[in-house]
Each structure stands twice: as C-alpha cells, then as structure tokens.
Amino acid sequence: MEQEEWVSPTMKSRFVILERSNEKLRLELTDAPGDIGPPEHLHPGQEEEFLVIEGTLMVKVDGVDHRLGNGERILVQKGQAHTFWNPSATEPVRFQNEHRPALGFERFLKTVYDLDRDGLSDEKGQPRLLQLMTILKARGGEEFLAGPPRLLQRITVFLLGTLGELRGRRPFYVSSARRHERHERHERHEQT
C-alpha cells in the first residue's frame, strides 16, 4: 500500500509516517535545499530524536548548532529549545524524526502542512496568527516558542485561540486537495 505524503511547499519539506502509537510517532522527512525550519521551540512533555539517512541536517539545541551527516543522530530532551534545517544549497536531506511520547503531534503536524499546501500559511509556512493560536490552544501547552515566558505564551494562546474559535478557526485542518485525493482513491477502490 502506498504511503500518504504531507507536503509543505513554503517550508520545502515533505514527510511520511513510518510508525505511530501512543508511545511514539516516527516520521521520515525530506527537506529541500533552502528549506525553512520551524521556529526555535520546545516540547515540555516530549523528547525528540533526529537520525540522518542521507545528506546533512543542522539541529540547534539550546543555542548550540550540531551538523549531522549520514547515520548520525541527536536526542533533544524534554524542554530543550531546538530547531532544524537543511544547510545545503544544492542537496536535499532525508532524515527520521521521532517524538516520544506522541501526544497528538501527528495531527498537529498534518494540520500545519495541509494549511500550507492550500496556501493558508505565511511566508515561513506557519499558520496565520489566529489559526495558529487556535491550534496551539487545542494542544494544551505541548509546544512553546523558545524565549518568551511560558505564562505569557499560555495567556496569549488562550486569548487569541478563543478569538480564533469565535471567528470560525478550527484546531485541525485537512487540505481540500487531500480530501479530493482520498475521495478519488475511495472511488477507485470501490470499482475494483
């Protein structure tokens, strides 16, 4: 069976899910040259591991840059600020990323990628402000930006997330193109 792929054209990134359970979510990502990594952030309740399969990946952890090549890995502990990107100007990087425990991260990531796929993100591939706050409110403190005090972020997310909900934003999103593709696959399956 063919694996479903999520694509973020702005971030120049794509992923497939390799393994999912409550204990962990394991993904394989391919980031193109010139990709836009996520903003520096942290997960209070998750550790995150990166394993490079092909190419070079930069991972910044607590302000220190780590250059990883084929077969190299790094573990980001719970609460450590981090981000990652492809430093190559010409070659993609393919790597595995694992979140332990999963804590609903799969749905969060799919939403971010599908919003970008439908052109509903900003120039960095991130959901627009009210949409992002609505998503983060539903996540209940599983992600924080590095830097600003967490209490200030919680208050901001609650207030703007509530405003987003009142304006019709939802915490989860499936790309209209993906819904159409699923419908077509379902019809082809019924015909066989």
CATH number for the domain formed by residue range(s) 5-191: 2.60.120.10
The pLDDT score that the predictor gives to residue 184 is 72
Q: Per residue in 8-28, pLDDT tens?
A: 999 999 999 999 999 999 999
Write the pLDDT tens digit of every residue in 73-128: 999 999 999 999 999 999 999 999 999 999 999 999 999 999 999 999 999 999 99
Whole-number pLDDT of residue 182: 72
Q: Give dist(CA 22, CA 177) in Å, integer.
A: 28
Supply the pLDDT for residue 2.
63
Q: pLDDT tens digits, residue range 121-173?
A: 999 999 999 999 999 999 999 999 999 999 999 999 999 999 999 999 999 99
Q: Where are the domains of the chain?
A: 5-191
Question: Cα separation of 72 and 24, whole Å?
Answer: 20
Choice between 190 and 68, residue whose per-residue pLDDT is larger = 68
